Structure 1
Amino acid sequence: MAHASSHGSAGPAAPRTTFFLVMILVSALLATLAGLWLLWPSAGDVPDRVPNRAEGTSFVDVTIAGPADPATGSIPVELADGGTSRMQSPGPSVPLTEGDRITAVDISQVAQPGVDPLVFMDFQRELPIALLAVVYALVVLLVARWRGLAAMAGLGIAFVVLLGFTMPALLAGQDAFGVALVTSSLIMFVTLYLAHGLSARTSTALLGTLVGLALTAGIAAWASGAAQITGGTDEASAFLPSSAPAADLRGIALCGIVLAGLGVLNDVTITQASAVWELRAVAPAATRAELFTSAMRIGRDHIASTVYTIAFAYVGAALPLLMIVWLVDQSPLTALTSGEIAEEVVRTLVGSIGLVLAIPVTTAIATLTVPGPTTDLVGNAGLEPSSDPELMAPVSEAWAAQARASEA
């Protein structure tokens, strides 16, 4: 006999499974907090912050009032109090037009007579960036509502961790491998539970994320050494050793490789954990092996799209550098294995390997954590587990077998 019913939640995990999951995660959290305590830098080890302007100078906000003088390059500007002054031209690489709002450095107290008293510092971007941030927050709140608000709160806490612990610890010369693991683990504990709630499903995704982080960190440690990633291929390499002598450029590069894939890794583990729970909800009679097979069909599609995401995120961020490399007459292999390009290639490959490995790991953990196969008292032979026959093939076979058994 068959009847139709709707499938809701897959239900809670078994008590014994929940106990083991909680014990593993509590142990991981305690290890993370212990690492945080051990690696927390003392105030004396953190280098002093470097002044952002020379003594005797000050910052002023000005507005470009007209074109530059063709003979001297001097640019007329309007001061915030309504007065006028002159600014030295920053050159053709910084195009300025009338009405642009600029932050300039006032060097009138230290400049030679006859020299324009203002020097270009940067554009004022506070207003457009603030508007973008407000629009972003509104869109997230309108679409995701309270969960979106929780996710943004988690993002804010993540930046607090980065600014309050990670950067001072790296500048103080603390072990970069440990700093990377502690930072990543702490951020994931906070952001996952804030955004997705305290549940077995979230805990499964968190455990899969932690395993993926450990794998990523291990591969990154090997790859950065084997590929001779020195961290000395950009402007920071010339500034950090003099301002923070204890900072290890190689270690900072390693930490950056681990942190780079954090967001994408979180994305795939949450997706896989949710997929297993939803599959169980629509197919309560499917075995764990059948759930794993069906969930991995989803995972394979996610792997393909995520690999593209990581690669194109780098291409977009490093487009000017890639264009310079393209202009140089050299083979593609030489370009990809030299300098800053090699560092980014290693970062992309390590992050991709880590997230690909995290998908089957998370799927396996989820299939072991989700409630086991069940049937109701009168059978479920008349129910359709899914409209996607390829995705649900193993589950559909289980339903068909159950239907034949109930008819017999």
Structure 2
Amino acid sequence: MIKKYSFPMMIALISTAIFCFSPGLSESARPKSPLIQHFVEAKVTRMESQEVAPDPHVPSMMTGRQIFLAEILEGAEKGKEVRISNPLSRQHNVYVQEGDHFIMMVRVKKNGQSYYWAFNHKRSPAIYTMLAVFLLLLLSFGKKEGLNSVISLYFTAALVVGVLIPAIFAGWNPMLLTIILMGIKIVVNYILVCGYNHKSVCAMIGTLLGVIAAGAFSQVFGEMAHLSGIYLDKGEDIVYLTTAHPIQIRWLMFTAIMISALGAVMDVAISISSSYHELSQADPNLTPAQLRKASMNIGRDIMGTMTNTLILAIAGSSLTTMMMVWGFDMPVIQFLNTPLVTMAVVHALAGSIGIVLTIPLTAWACSVFFPVKVRAEESC
């Protein structure tokens, strides 16, 4: 039993170690803010006054102003009651009532006085509950494979949050760093899900080559369209973060598309590798060339759904942008040359190109690395 779970346990421990030690090791790379502020949970104790009304364009949203007393529930000022003026608008709308918990920002001014602001609703309970439901379903139906999937997600979060982001702020090249980290992620994921065998090795090769191709096409055509990482969401804000090392924002497009396309590319790669394996088991007389051709035929059916999945995911995240374009009756020439639209199109097409190329790349890897007679016990 211990041997069966030794690798997942090791990955879980490594991930935890990254989360524990990364903040201390990367503190020197963290941008220094000129503001002295922190965030605490607070509770509305008494509503003094409020002049609010439904927004004429969004009736479900209340706008106006509230003045209330709130008790700080954590931190150095725990138990302290403060008075808060809470303006409500469409941009910032933290509408509260007596007894509500919210996130308070405490900003210390130069004269030593503190300023208190209703910064956000407390949304974490909804996130934690949804996460618990997801994990419960995953573990209930997936059992060992579900547990390995959770550990794989945990490891991915550790690499991105604990390694990739601090290293980018430390001035490392995002392109090379992303290839290395995604390569590690791919190897660990396939070993957790499929074990270490010919099928998983071929899927690893196809996945890594596919996501590198997606990132390369995104970078090349993005620069051809005069785009860079600065046009990513919050990209311009990152430029103004003060660090000891300048962020190589030029390569962030490559990083973004590699991360966003990885899941879809992994699905395609393991599907092709599994198809090759099953076909070789069904008919051991098939040659590598015949198996490669058959796997490619299967890949053509997968191609349409997976490219749609990626493009629709990006379209969904850009829904409000497309609504604005439609609402303003924007001409096509203006629409296609808008940076946000061009960025979304380049990402969608680069990711789709990566998916398409993953099919022949994985089939080629299978024909090279699979033995003529694959062991029947290799299954996923």
Aligned to 1:102: 102
Partner SS state of residue 243, structure 1: coil
- The percent identity for this pair of structures is 21
With over 3 angstroms needed to count, the CA separation of the structure-2 counterparts of 1:307 and 1:75, relative to structure 1, is farther
CA contact (8 A) 1:276 1:370 kept: no
Q: Report the more deviating stretch, 334-343 or 97-106.
A: 97-106
Measure the CA separation in 2 of the matches of 1:70 and 1:368.
69
Aligned to 1:263: 263
Tell me by how many angstroms 1:259 deviates. 2.1
Aligned to 1:76: 68
Measure the CA separation in 2 of the matches of 1:193 and 1:151.
11
Measure the CA separation in 2 of the matches of 1:145 and 1:106.
44
Tell me by how many angstroms 1:105 deviates. 2.4
Measure the CA separation in 2 of the matches of 1:92 and 1:316.
22
Instruction: Supply the AA of the counterpart residue of 2:265.
Output: L
Unaligned runs of 5+ in 2: 1-21, 54-63, 74-78, 375-380
Measure the CA separation in 1 of the matches of 2:26 and 2:68.
46
Unaligned runs of 5+ in 1: 1-39, 375-408
Aligned to 2:170: 172
Partner SS state of residue 286, structure 1: coil
Measure the CA separation in 1 of the matches of 2:173 and 2:108.
45
1:319 aligns with 2:300: no
Tell me by how many angstroms 1:346 deviates. 1.0
Aligned to 1:216: 214
CA contact (8 A) 1:75 1:86 kept: yes
CA contact (8 A) 1:237 1:249 kept: no
Measure the CA separation in 2 of the matches of 1:267 and 1:62.
45
Measure the CA separation in 1 of the matches of 2:45 and 2:367.
63
CA contact (8 A) 1:241 1:247 kept: no
Aligned to 2:301: 301
Tell me by how many angstroms 1:270 deviates. 0.7
Measure the CA separation in 1 of the matches of 2:261 and 2:88.
37
CA contact (8 A) 1:47 1:243 kept: no
CA offsets per residue over residues 30-59 of structure 1, 9 Å max, x none?
Answer: xxxxxxxxxx9xx699533445x9437763
Measure the CA separation in 2 of the matches of 1:342 and 1:64.
49
Aligned to 1:7: none
Alignment of 1:114-263 (within 5 A): 118-233=116-231, 234-244=233-243, 246-263=246-263
Tell me by how many angstroms 1:279 deviates. 1.8
Partner SS state of residue 297, structure 1: helix
Instruction: Supply the AA of the counterpart residue of 1:166.
Output: L
Instruction: Supply the AA of the counterpart residue of 1:268.
Output: V
**TM-score, normalised on structure 1?**
0.71
Measure the CA separation in 2 of the matches of 1:334 and 1:46.
43
Structure having greater relative contact order (Cα 8 Å, sep ≥ 6): 1
**TM-score, normalised on structure 2?**
0.76
Q: Name the larger-Rg structure.
A: 1
CA offsets per residue over residues 344-371 of structure 1, 9 Å max, x none?
Answer: 2111111110111111111232244444
CA contact (8 A) 2:70 2:82 kept: yes
Instruction: Supply the AA of the counterpart residue of 2:251.
Output: G
Instruction: Supply the AA of the counterpart residue of 1:169.
Output: A
1:61 aligns with 2:42: yes
Instruction: Supply the AA of the counterpart residue of 2:239.
Output: L
Measure the CA separation in 1 of the matches of 2:331 and 2:65.
41
CA contact (8 A) 1:268 1:355 kept: yes
Measure the CA separation in 1 of the matches of 2:65 and 2:309.
44
Partner SS state of residue 313, structure 1: helix
CA contact (8 A) 1:88 1:118 kept: no
Instruction: Supply the AA of the counterpart residue of 2:226.
Output: Q
Measure the CA separation in 1 of the matches of 2:45 and 2:345.
41
With over 3 angstroms needed to count, the CA separation of the structure-2 counterparts of 1:319 and 1:120, relative to structure 1, is farther
Tell me by how many angstroms 1:107 deviates. 5.8
Instruction: Supply the AA of the counterpart residue of 2:42.
Output: D
Partner SS state of residue 135, structure 1: helix
Measure the CA separation in 1 of the matches of 2:39 and 2:288.
67
Measure the CA separation in 2 of the matches of 1:57 and 1:282.
62
CA offsets per residue over residues 111-139 of structure 1, 9 Å max, x none?
Answer: 9x9xx964221111111111111111111
Aligned to 1:366: 366
Alignment of 1:1-80 (within 5 A): 47-51=29-33, 54-55=35-36, 59-63=40-44, 68-70=50-52, 73-76=65-68, 78-79=70-71, 80=73
Instruction: Supply the AA of the counterpart residue of 1:146.
Output: K
Q: Report the more deviating stretch, 307-316 or 336-345.
A: 336-345
Tell me by how many angstroms 1:104 deviates. 1.9
Tell me by how many angstroms 1:63 deviates. 4.0
Instruction: Supply the AA of the counterpart residue of 1:277.
Output: H
CA contact (8 A) 2:292 2:367 kept: yes
Instruction: Supply the AA of the counterpart residue of 1:220.
Output: S
CA offsets per residue over residues 42-88 of structure 1, 9 Å max, x none?
Answer: x699533445x943776342248668335972243553559684441
Measure the CA separation in 1 of the matches of 2:372 and 2:168.
46
CA contact (8 A) 2:145 2:193 kept: yes
CA offsets per residue over residues 276-331 of structure 1, 9 Å max, x none?
Answer: 11122222333333322332232112111111111111122222233223333422
Tell me by how many angstroms 1:210 deviates. 2.1
Aligned length: 330
Tell me by how many angstroms 1:165 deviates. 2.3
With over 3 angstroms needed to count, the CA separation of the structure-2 counterparts of 1:108 and 1:205, relative to structure 1, is closer
Instruction: Supply the AA of the counterpart residue of 1:217.
Output: G
